[in-house]
Amino acid sequence: MDPDRYHRHVQQSGASRVWVTGAGGLIGHALVRTAPTAASGWSAIPLVRTDLDLTDRAAVAARFHADAPSAIIHSAALSRSPACQADPALARLLNVEVTRQLAELAADIPFVLLSTDLVFDGRKGSYGEEDMTNPLGVYAETKVAAEAVARAHPHHLIVRTSLNYGTSPTGDRSFAEELVNAWRAGRTTPLFDDEYRCPIAARETARAIWGLLTLNAAGTFHVAGRERLSRWQIGHLVAAHRPEVKALITASSLKNFQGPPRPADVTLDSSQAERALGYALPRFTEWLAQESAAAQPTTA
Cβ neighbours for 9, distance < 8 A, ≥ 6 positions apart: 1, 15
pLDDT digits (tens, 9 = 90+) for 60-74: 999 999 999 999 999
Rounded to whole angstroms, how far apart are CA atoms 221 and 161? 9
pLDDT digits (tens, 9 = 90+) for 209-226: 999 999 999 999 999 999
- Banded model confidence at residue 34, pLDDT cuts 50, 70, 90: very high
pLDDT digits (tens, 9 = 90+) for 142-188: 999 999 999 998 889 999 999 999 888 887 778 888 998 999 999 99
Single-letter code of the amino acid located at 145:
A
**Domains by residue range for the chain, with CATH:** 3-171+200-226+266-282 (3.40.50.720)
**pLDDT on residue 1:** 38
241-269 mean pLDDT: 91
Cβ neighbours for 159, distance < 8 A, ≥ 6 positions apart: 112, 113, 114, 115, 205, 208, 209, 212, 220, 221, 222, 223
Widest pairwise Cα distance in the chain: 60
Q: Between 175-184 and 231-241, two packed helices, what is the crossing angle to 10 degrees?
A: 70
pTM as predicted: 0.90
**pLDDT on residue 15:** 64
| Per-position b or e across 201-229, b if 16+ CB within 10 A of its CB | bbbbbbbbbbbbbeeebbebbbbbbbbbb
**133 or 79: which carries more pLDDT confidence?**
133
CB 94 within 8 A of CB 54: yes
Q: What separation in angstroms does the CA of 158 have from each of 123, 149, 209?
A: 22, 11, 10
**pLDDT of 20 above 70:** yes
Backbone angles phi, psi at 43, to 5 degrees: -120, 120
Burial of 23 (0-12, 13-18, 19+ CB in 10 A): buried
CB 122 within 8 A of CB 263: yes
Nearest to 276 by CA among 235, 233, 216, 226: 216
237-262 mean pLDDT: 89
Q: Mean pLDDT over all residues of the chain?
A: 90
CB 226 within 8 A of CB 299: no
Q: Which uninterrupted H or E stretch holds 7?
A: helix 3-13
**pLDDT on residue 194:** 94
Most confident option among 10-14, 116-120, 167-171: 116-120
**pLDDT of 10 above 50:** no
Rounded to whole angstroms, how far apart are CA atoms 32 and 34? 6
- Banded model confidence at residue 251, pLDDT cuts 50, 70, 90: very high
Rounded to whole angstroms, how far apart are CA atoms 184 and 107? 46
CB 18 within 8 A of CB 39: yes
